[in-house]
A = this chain, B = another copy of it.
Amino acid sequence: MAQKRLGKQTIKLINPPSMIATAAVVGPKEGEGPLSKYFDMIQKDDYFGQESWEKAESKFLEEAVKRAINKSGINTTSIDYMLAGDLLNQIISSSFAARTLQIPFLGLYGACSTMAESLSIGSMIIDGGYADHVICATSSHFSSAERQYRFPLEQGVQRPPFAQWTVTGSGATILAAKGNGPYITCITTGKVIDFGIKDANNMGAAMAPAAVDTLVAHFKDTGRTPKYYDLIVTGDLATVGRNITLELMQKEGLNLKYNYNDCGCMIYDNEKQDTHSGGSGCGCSASVLNGYLYDMLLHGEIKKLLFVATGALLSPISSWQGESIPCIAHAVAIETILSEVK
Contact = CB atoms under 8 A, between A and B. Distances in A.
Nearest to A217: B104
Interface in A1-60: 1, 4-5, 8-9, 11, 51-52, 54-55
Interface string A252-279: 0000000000000000000000000000
Nearest to A54: B317
Contact of A109 (B5, B108, B120): B108
B98 A315 contact: no
B85 A109 contact: yes
Nearest to A52: B321
Nearest to A86: B109
A192 interface: yes
Interface in A171-192: 189-192
Interface string A67-103: 0000000000000110001011111100110110011
Nearest to A2: B129
Contact of A105 (B98, B190, B314): B190
A246 B109 CA distance: 33
Which of A8, A98, A318 counts the most B-chain CB atoms under 10 A from its CB?
Answer: A318
Interface footprint category on A: 35 or more
Contacts of A334: none
Contacts of A105: 189-192, 328
- How many chain copies does the complex carry? 2
B90 A192 contact: no
A124 B128 contact: yes
A125 interface: yes
A135 interface: no
A198 to B, nearest CB: 14
A335 interface: no
Contact of A99 (B109, B315, B316, B326): B326
Nearest to A13: B130
Nearest to A110: B107
Interface string A103-123: 111111111000001001100
A315 B89 contact: yes
Q: Which 3 A-B pairs have the closest CB atoms?
A: A128-B128, A90-B315, A95-B313
Contacts of A301: none
B90 A11 contact: no
Contacts of A120: 106
Contacts of A95: 192, 313, 326, 328
A108 B111 contact: no
A194 interface: yes
Contacts of A9: 104
A78 to B, nearest CB: 10
A63 interface: no
Given A85-B109, A315-B92, A191 B125 contact: no
B192 A99 contact: yes
